Amino acid sequence: MDYIKLSKEISYALRHAPWEYELELDKDGFVQISQLIDALNNGDNYGRTVTIYDLTRINAESDKKRFEIKDDRIRALYGHTIPMHISKEIVTPPNILYHGTTYKAANLILDTGLKPMRRQYVHLSVDIDTAERVGRRRDGSPVILKVDAAKASADGIIFYEGNDKVVLADFVPGEYISRLK
Ligand code: HQG
């Protein structure tokens, strides 16, 4: 099984286009595993048959925890762009968070704050290494921004659970952001 390809397709289905798979997400972004498996195997299935075992392997085969399985349901933990709002659990953030991005975006962010852009939430990294990897998707030598999450949180900015490396927010004003490198 090509787990990278499968992970990309499930990300697409659960984050961006569930209707293409006739999936209905609940308010937390979960769908029934059986429905997802049927949809994956019924469409253009690339000659593969996905089983529940494969779904349990995806996180293990990756350096990122993109999905969560709970009982008979599965969801993407972050990244959603669908119009229906996915609720996330509120968390107390670590004191400092990071965000890796391009030079051009970094200057705009310092001015106007971190915005979710096409996604439902802003994505922040818990460490510099993770932020570097996020930023390198767009720029070989990304800018790393530092977010004073302790101060932002004390001032009422709300943070939400993503996964072990990702923390989410609705918006982070520029006053809490500085350039690390
Ligand atoms: C930028 C991947 C101008 C922001 C990653 C980013 C992550 C602004 C881009 C997850 C801005 C949005 C999310 C502003 C933000 N002006 N640009 N005011 N505010 N931006 O892809 O954080 O592999 O939606 O800096 O690893 O890059 O898919 O967000 O460059 O965890 O699982 O707008 O997606 O995970 O880009 O990445 P994205 P992101 P997966």
Per-residue pLDDT 10s for the chain (181 aa) are 899 999 999 999 999 999 999 999 999 999 999 999 999 998 766 678 999 999 999 988 898 999 999 999 999 999 999 999 999 999 999 999 999 999 999 999 999 999 999 999 999 999 999 999 999 999 999 999 999 999 999 999 999 999 999 999 999 999 999 999 7
Give residue 123 CA to ligand 1 midpoint distance, Å.
6
129 to 14, 26, 155: CA distances (angstroms): 26, 33, 27
What whole-number distance in Å separates Cα of residue 74 and Cα of residue 20? 17
Contact 123, 166 (CB under 8 A): yes
Write the residue with the smallest CA distance to atom 33 of ligand 1. Answer: 117
Query: 102 alpha carbon to ligand 1 midpoint, in Å?
Result: 10
Pocket test for ligand 1, best of 11, 77, 88, 101 (most atoms within 8 A of CB): 101
Instruction: Report how far ligand 1's centroid is from the alpha carbon of 154 (Å).
Output: 24
| Cα–Cα distance, 40 to 49 (Å, whole number) | 8
3-state helix, strand, coil in the chain (%, to 5): 35, 25, 40
How many Cα neighbours within 13 Å face the side chain of 23?
33
Dihedral angle at the C-alpha atoms of 130, 77, 3, 23, nearest 10 degrees?
-150
Query: What's CA 63's distance to the chain center, in Å?
Result: 13
φ/ψ of 98, rounded to 5, equals: -130, 160
Strand partners, 63: none
* Closest ligand 1 atom number to CA of residue 123: 22
Contact 19, 26 (CB under 8 A): no
Angle, helices 52-60 vs 3-11, to 10°: value is 100
| Global confidence as pTM | 0.96
- The alpha carbon of 114 and the centre of ligand 1 are apart by a number of angstroms equal to 9
User: Within 6 Å (CB) of ligand 1, which residues are found?
Assistant: 64, 66, 79, 101, 105, 108-109, 112-115, 117-119, 123, 134, 138, 166
